[in-house]
Structure formats: C-alpha cells, structure tokens
Amino acid sequence: MTREAELRRLLAEVFRWTYLKNLTTTMGGNASVRLDEETILITPSGMPKHMIKPANIVKMKLDGTVQGPGKPSSEWRMHVEIYKTRDDVRAVLHVHSPHVIALYEAGYKLDIDIVELKAYVGPTIPEVGYLTPGSQELAEAVARALRPRNVNAVILRGHGIVTVGSNIFEALNRAEVIDQAAYITILRNMLTGEK
Ligand SMILES: [Zn+2]
C-alpha cells in the first residue's frame, strides 16, 4: 500500500470515529493530513462521515487547487492556512464538540490543570470569537491562534474546536481529551454548584 493510500484509509477511519464518539454530527466537522510540503488530503464536502471511503478523500494543493475528483470540505481554507502557518503540523481535525460549546457559551472555560489536558494538549488553548464557518476570516484567525508551536488546539466560540498533531491520531486524541475535560468541568460545576 502506498503512503497516500494508507493516509486515505486512516483519515476515513479516524473521521468515522469522531462521529461514533459523539464529537460531531453526521454532516459536521472535517479532517485532513499532510501528504507532502505542498499537498494535503482532506475529507469531502457534503457526505455523511460514517460513509466516507478512502477514494472519497480529496487531494488538494496548499494554493487551493483540487487535484483529481471530489469537492473538499467547506472549511478547506482553515486547513490550508494552518498548514501554511505551521510546517510541523501533519494533521488537522475540526469537530463540533457539544461539551466545549456548552461550557464556553455558558461563560466557563476549560480547566487547564486537568491532568490529561496539560499532558496531551499543552499549556494554553486560545479562543477565537464567532466567525462565519468556511470563511477566509475564520481560516486566518485560527491559523494566527495556532502560530506558537506549543499551541495544539483552538476553541471556536459557538462552533467547536480545531486540533492539530504530528499525525491524525494525535489530533484525534487531543479532541477527545478536550471534549472529556469540558465534560468533567460541567459535571464538577453541577455537583459543587461552583461558578
Ligand atoms: Zn465547523
């Protein structure tokens, strides 16, 4: 199996898991991996994520040119801007984590001292205010927030999260850890009545 075929298989599989783990909805979210310095593989637009096959993954250049069949995710600009900003990033995952959205919209924040969060995600998780999904404005704001190399995730207010990694599993784990930390914080606040 070629490296591209293997990456297509992994991307389709991991993206299906994001749906099965309730990190997002059937049509929501998107993911990509870097194929080489100028090329990425990204999930397609408008397809139920549990049905995506390796052949449906779209290949595109960082200048926005699509290579071969398929239409890339409507958030392709965000993925491209991140890869252009961070040459160390090999995978990008965007999901609509309900726990994170609820936590932030209720006026709370993630507690960075939750052990897994600090260990797997890093010392800080910046926020980006609500911007239109799919817009160049959102793409540039997220890439700017991810510029420091110790930042591996961004909260998109009212929308979800973006995680990056040296491979798709690292990006997936970071999304899971963030979603779980948000869930823990919500439960803790409910149990203690803490503000
Ligand atoms: Zn989204």
- Indicate whether 195 pLDDT > 70: no
Backbone angles phi, psi at 30, to 5 degrees: -165, 160
Q: Which of 6, 37, 75, 127 is catalytic?
A: 75
CA of 75 to the centre of ligand 1 (A): 7
What per-residue confidence (pLDDT) applies to 24? 87
Residue 54: pLDDT above 70?
yes
Residue 2 Cα to ligand 1 middle (Å): 30
DSSP per residue, 60-93:
EETTS-EESSS-B-TTHHHHHHHHHH-TT--EEE
How many angstroms is it from 175 CA to the middle of ligand 1? 13
Q: Note if 170 is an active site residue.
A: no
Q: E-strand spans in 22-170?
A: 30-36, 39-42, 58-61, 66-67, 91-95, 127-128, 153-156, 160-165
Q: What is the pLDDT of residues 143-160, one digit of tens each?
A: 999 999 999 999 999 999
Count how many Cα atoms sit within 13 Å of the Cα of residue 170 in the half-sphere of its side chain.
16
* Position 102 confidence tier, pLDDT thresholds 50, 70, 90: very high
Amino acid at 79: H
Distance (angstroms) between ligand 1 centre and the Cα of 15 equals: 14
Q: What percent of the chain has pLDDT over 70?
A: 99
Please tell me the pTM assigned to this model: 0.96
Average of pLDDT values for 162-180? Answer: 97
- Averaged pLDDT, 48-61: 94
Going from the N-terminus, what domains does the chain have, and what CATH number goes with each?
3-192 (3.40.225.10)
Mean pLDDT in residue range 79-103:
96
Q: What are phi and psi of 44, to 5 degrees?
A: -80, 165
